[in-house]
Amino acid sequence: MTRYGAMFGPDITFLGVDRCDVTDPGTFADADVVIIGAPFDGGTSHRPGARFGPGALRQACYLPADGSRPSLALRVDALRDLRVYDAGDVECYSGDVEGSIAHIEEAVRRIALSGAIPVVLGGDHTIALPDARGVATARGMGRVSMLHFDAHADTGNIAFGHLYGHGQPMRRLIESGAIRGDRFLQIGLRGYWPEPETLRWMAERKMRSYEMTEIVARGLEECLTEAFAIALDECEGVFLSVDIDVCDPGHAPGTGTPEPGGLTARQLLDSVRRICYELPVVGMEVVEVAPPYDHADITAYLGNRVVLEALSAMARRRKDDAGGPRWDPRQPLLDGR
């Protein structure tokens, strides 16, 4: 049986939320969200260190770890308005890729089957395969779309003689039938990979990739609106995958494969907020935060806030769906709205 708890660093929960045990469904029966760590970086092709990401993401905050975070913009307190638990870390061993993938997928599947939203703290992007497949197994294979923020497509086939790694999970997901290629939206791609053969494979599966040049030319908001329409077509839920290297290295230096010319931290946070407010998000991950290469915890703070923005938007969506006034980011702040 897989053990849960801190694999690296202090045994703490995300900003002080209550703890649960994935092997005991009764401990999270009332959960809206369950946070779980996947400290695996055995699939990296360049700089390792993302195994320390879950611990950094849990504690990167200057406020007390008291299980409360009222959002100034959204006027909700996600950690209290939602029932949020932290299940600790899945036991992962970098020398056993397939075993680690199996452990992660089973944990995510259990959370999703309970009706809660799994939020996975990575770890390198290898974990996208078990994260999204675990959700799809519970929600319906091919019935969950993917919004994938990343500098890299992660659609390679075989690297260093292996099928599994942080450059291949999106191909494995599509091949497994968990996510449809024509409901796979990638945002923020740039740089000098992949090669033409992989691009042809992506085109044949009708994947849609928004490269940074297109985002700059058309505007991020327009690209997101278009992506949302595709994501909701014949799919009942959305899985949100955020590789922190989607941001320019000036905004997220602590990552294994930095690529200049990406999104700003503000653009990423606004995008995540909009996605989790407007779309039925059924699973989420934040990956590739590698503390050994961070400066002044810049990247860890950003990753922590990505999770908080997502949770706050989910809480605001629930509040408004229950009859509250619709949130409009263009309006001035009003007390009590």
Q: In this structure, are residues 34 and 22 in contact, taking their beta carbons and an 8 Å threshold?
A: yes
Share of the chain above pLDDT 90, in %: 89
Spatial neighbors of 195 by CB under 8 A, at least 6 apart, are: none
CATH topology of domain 4-321: Arginase; Chain A (3.40.800)
Q: How confident is the model at residue 1 (pLDDT cuts 50, 70, 90)?
A: very low
Name the average pLDDT for the chain. 95
Q: What is the pLDDT of residue 291?
A: 98
In the predicted model, what is the mean pLDDT of residues 157-184?
92
Identify the weakest region by mean pLDDT among 38-52, 151-165, 236-250, 259-273.
151-165
Cβ neighbours of 3 (radius 10 Å): 11
Amino acid at 332: P
- Please give the DSSP secondary-structure letter assigned to residue 263: B
145-155 per-position pLDDT tens digit: 999 999 999 99
Give per-residue burial for 195-229: e unless 16+ CB within 10 Å, then b. Answer: eeebeebbeebebbbbbbeebeeeebeebbeebbe
Identify the weakest region by mean pLDDT among 85-99, 114-128, 160-174, 219-233.
160-174
Q: What is the pLDDT of residue 56?
A: 97
Token pair recorded at residue 259: 């690529």
User: Which neighbouring-strand residues pair with 286?
Assistant: 121, 242
How far, in Å, CA of 90 to CA of 303, rounded? Answer: 19
pLDDT of residue 332 exceeding 80, the answer is no
Q: What is the pLDDT of residue 84?
A: 98
Token pair recorded at residue 221: 């908001």
pLDDT of residue 239 exceeding 90, the answer is yes
Q: What is the pLDDT of residue 333?
A: 64
In the predicted model, what is the mean pLDDT of residues 121-140?
98
Cβ neighbours of 106 (radius 10 Å): 17
pLDDT of residue 3 exceeding 70, the answer is no
Strand intervals (E) in the chain: 4-5, 18-19, 33-38, 84-90, 117-122, 144-149, 184-189, 208-211, 237-243, 281-287
163-176 per-position pLDDT tens digit: 789 999 999 999 99
pLDDT of residue 215 exceeding 50, the answer is yes
Predicted TM-score (pTM) above 0.85 = yes
Residues 103-107: contacts with CB under 8 Å, at least 24 apart: 103/2, 104/38, 104/40, 104/130, 104/131, 104/134, 105/129, 105/130, 105/131, 105/133, 105/134, 105/137, 106/2, 106/134, 107/2, 107/4, 107/22, 107/36, 107/134
Domain definitions of the chain by residue range: 4-321
Element (H, E) at 222: helix 220-232
Share of the chain above pLDDT 70, in %: 97
Q: How confident is the model at residue 2 (pLDDT cuts 50, 70, 90)?
A: low
User: Which neighbouring-strand residues pair with 295?
Assistant: none
- Please give the DSSP secondary-structure letter assigned to residue 145: E
- Give the chain's length: 337
pLDDT of residue 196 exceeding 70, the answer is yes
pLDDT of residue 211 exceeding 50, the answer is yes
Q: What is the pLDDT of residue 94?
A: 83
